[in-house]
Amino acid sequence: MSSGKVTLLSAGPGDVDLLTLRAARVLACADVVLLDDLANPEIATLAPSARVLRVGKRGGCRSTPQAFIERLMVRYARRGLHVVRVKGGDALMFGRAGEELAALRDAGIATAIVNGVSSAFAAANALGISLTHRAHCQGVTFVTAHLQDHREPDWSALAATRTTLAIYMGMSRLDALCAALGDALGPHTPGAVVQHAGGANERSVVARLDRLADAAHAAGLGSPAIILVGPAIAEARNASARPEATLARAA
């Protein structure tokens, strides 16, 4: 096994102060940092001795191929270096960590993982709600709107779980998503879109499903954003004041 290693590090949803202390310690001793496009670029200041490479992956944009990222990690680790792969949110939540861990293990590279705050939790914080409010639901389901084969998730089956739905990577399908969930849950079911959850530019809209897509479009919201759906969203700040509420991050 190579003397080098790779750490998959969770950058959190935005602000650098949402990094864990462990993440800061790992960055301080990194030799190479592979920085995800969704991670705050200020994170690089915590790795003063590292070579920093941007390896962005954004839906609908020019992205660094996943296979190339994996080759970079293996190449530098085999040189005996400590490679830190910085991922937005939590590294284990829809960040292709499974593919990267498999590639590293196949190559005989030592690996470590630093957990962090996922964007769904930052989105809940933005709205001032609990994703698992026991008066409204029995849990939370994390789901991506983009399956590997490009099919739509089974929204009816997800609606039947009676959980709050935290939907990642769904903005390009927001209209169809809201229509499908509205059919399954009812058009009056509350939902929210939170853009840049946990970051300085955080903005959100809260509306019932039959109005959520229009409200998000009118507010100019886009990716990266988390979509939250379910009765627990009714607890959001100001949500009951009017059918659509636009919330900005508190200073």
Identify the pLDDT of residue 51.
Answer: 97
Separation CA 47–CA 9 (nearest Å) = 13
DSSP characters over 175-235: HHHHHHHHHHH-TT-EEEEEETTTSTT-EEEEEEHHHHHHHHHHTT--SSEEEEESGGGGG
Q: Per-residue pLDDT averaged across 199-214, rounded?
A: 95
Active site residues: 36, 57, 169
What does the alpha-carbon distance between residue 24 and residue 7 come to, in Å, rounded to a whole number?
A: 12
Contact 174, 193 (CB under 8 A): yes
What Rg do the C-alpha atoms of the chain give, in angstroms?
A: 19
| pLDDT > 90? residue 5 | yes
**Mean pLDDT, residues 218-247 taken together:** 79
Q: What is the pLDDT confidence band of residue 57, given thresholds at 50, 70 and 90? A: low
> What are the tens digits of pLDDT across the range 132-170?
999 999 999 999 997 777 788 899 999 999 999 999 999
Higher pLDDT, 3 or 116: 116
| Domains contained in the chain, CATH given | 5-114 (3.40.1010.10), 119-248 (3.30.950.10)
Adjacency order of strands within the sheet including 225-229: 140-144, 164-168, 225-229, 190-195, 203-208, 244-248
Task: Calculate the alpha carbon distances from 8 to 68, 147, 148, 152, 199 in Å.
Answer: 16, 23, 22, 29, 21
The pLDDT of residue 200 is 86
pLDDT band at 251 (very low <50, low <70, confident <90, very high): very low
Average pLDDT, the chain: 90
Question: pLDDT higher for 131 or 37?
Answer: 131
- Report pLDDT digits (tens) over 106-130: 999 999 999 999 999 999 999 999 9
Please report, for residues 58, 153, 213, 249, the alpha-carbon distance to residue 150 in angstroms, rounded to integers and kept in the order given.
16, 9, 21, 33
- pLDDT tens-digit series, residues 60-109: 556 789 999 999 999 999 999 999 999 999 999 988 899 999 999 999 99
pTM for this predicted structure: 0.88
CB–CB of 169/150 below 8 Å?
no
CA pair distance 31, 81, nearest whole angstrom: 6
* pLDDT score for 60: 52
Q: What is the pLDDT of residue 151?
A: 81
Q: Map tokens 């039959």 to a residue.
A: 210
Tokens 């809940």, residue located: 124
Q: How confident is the model at residue 58 (pLDDT cuts 50, 70, 90)?
A: low
Task: List Cα–Cα distances, 141 to 75, 118, 138, 153, 167, in angstroms.
Answer: 36, 13, 10, 13, 8
CB distance 193 to 120 below 8 Å = no
> So what's the pLDDT on residue 250?
44
- Placement of tokens 């096994």 in the chain: 1
